A and B are shown apart, each in its own frame.
Chain A
Amino acid sequence: MKRWGFALLAGALVLPGGARAVSVGAGIFAGPSIPVIQDDTGTGVQFGLRLPIHVIPALTIEPFYARSNLGDVTETFNGTEYTRSGFDDDSFGVTLAMGGLGLSPGAPFYPYGSIASHNMTRAGSEDISEVGYELGLGFSFRLSPLAFNVRAGGGLVATGDTSRKFFNVNLGVATKLYGKP
């Protein structure tokens, strides 16, 4: 019964726009990436590219590339100050957003989830190449021909029995490349 309920919920979201045209956009984004419970790396900047694809109005599939340059950590030990470099994180993945992201019809506020392949590197450490996840909320508005998005979400990169976690906030701008305006 619950499966049917979920199927009906999904159907209710997708059917009203099923007949509309597919559209494809492109955008960029940037903002702070804040490590959570990580003493050995600091707050940095995340930026990247997104390709929002609207198959149906209430749902956006968005392949993306992101790079985070995390901050250094400086600590004083035994009277001497030392600095540890922060990670650089390259990620490729896809976001699923329950909204039009300002490029297609949909509520301005939208939840999103993403899955990505991460490659985290820094001097003196083994590379971390693992899968990461992010969940968050976004807000979009349109100033034609551009759409602006503000997103805030919590992400983690699985590292065996533990994870590296981040709180990401970013501002993005996108435009439609293909599809009905």
Chain B
Amino acid sequence: MRMNVGPRYVARTRGRRIVQAAVLCALPLLAGTGCIVTSGQVMVSFELADVSIPTVASALRQDIDLNTISEYQDYKQDLKGLADLAILGQVHNMGAATSVEFWMTPGLTLHTTAAAVRGDATAVPVWGPFAVAAGATEQIDWDDSAALFVGRAPLLAEAQGDGSFSLYILPSSTATTATFDFNNGVIVLVLDAGI
């Protein structure tokens, strides 16, 4: 049998060697990274009802069930973390300068006052405080809101658990007065999940 050892054959052989070597080099990298390759950051949102806070002592509740979000259901089993969190909406302050917070309880609760929320041992602050000048209407900026999110761990625990919890909006503990509306609210979660 005649062997083809011309320049083209040598070039092809060398090309194959280079590709093989590249594949061999790639395998340790892929092995080292494991299943993190098959993951992504998926955005989901949950719309909140419009609420009015009449006094500084008030707290208003909304029960959240993440299971009503189809994308959340799709990724819940492989949820690894929360890559980004925000509460968005508009705050219309009808009184003196004040600030706003969001708290959550892991279970569904029925508190109606700010004191009751803060007095609940299971309640944790998740967002805020967000300051609003007297008489002002503030649109919450997405970047600013992400920076105000302080409840990543408890919210992740809920997202990885039953996905159901109570969310409270209330004036900050430092506020001396509060009469405001919170409109067009939405919670935005970026799920860090396997795909």
The tally of residues in B whose CB lies under 8 Å from a CB in A reads 49
Min CB gap A109→B, angstroms = 8
User: What is the CA–CA distance of A135 and B40 in the complex, to the nearest angstrom?
Assistant: 18
The tally of residues in A whose CB lies under 8 Å from a CB in B reads 46
Contact, CB under 8 Å: B17 / A9: yes
A133 at the A/B interface (Cβ < 8 Å)?
yes
Quick one: closest B residue to A77, CB to CB? B186
Quick one: closest A residue to B22, CB to CB? A111
Quick one: closest B residue to A79, CB to CB? B184
Contact mask for chain B residues 54-92; partner A; CB cutoff 8 A; 1 contact, 0 none: 000000000000000000000000001101101011100
**Chain A residues with CB below 8 A from B11, complex form:** 107
Contact mask for chain A residues 32-63; partner B; CB cutoff 8 A; 1 contact, 0 none: 00001111110000000000000000100000
Quick one: closest B residue to A128, CB to CB? B83
User: What is the CA–CA distance of A38 and B42 in the complex, to the nearest angstrom?
Assistant: 6
A181 at the A/B interface (Cβ < 8 Å)?
no
Contact, CB under 8 Å: A40 / B41: yes
Quick one: closest B residue to A106, CB to CB? B18
Quick one: closest B residue to A115, CB to CB? B29
Contact, CB under 8 Å: B21 / A13: yes
Q: Which of A4-47 contact B (CB under 8 A)?
A: 6, 9-10, 12-13, 36-41
B176 at the A/B interface (Cβ < 8 Å)?
no
State which of B33, B43, B144, B185 has its C-beta within 8 Å of the C-beta of A158. Answer: B33
Q: A37-B41, A161-B81, A162-B81 are in contact. Are A84 and B146 (CB under 8 A)?
A: yes
| Chain A residues close to B by CB (< 8 Å) | 6, 9-10, 12-13, 36-41, 58, 75, 77-80, 82-85, 96, 98-99, 107, 109-113, 115, 122-125, 133, 135, 156, 158-165
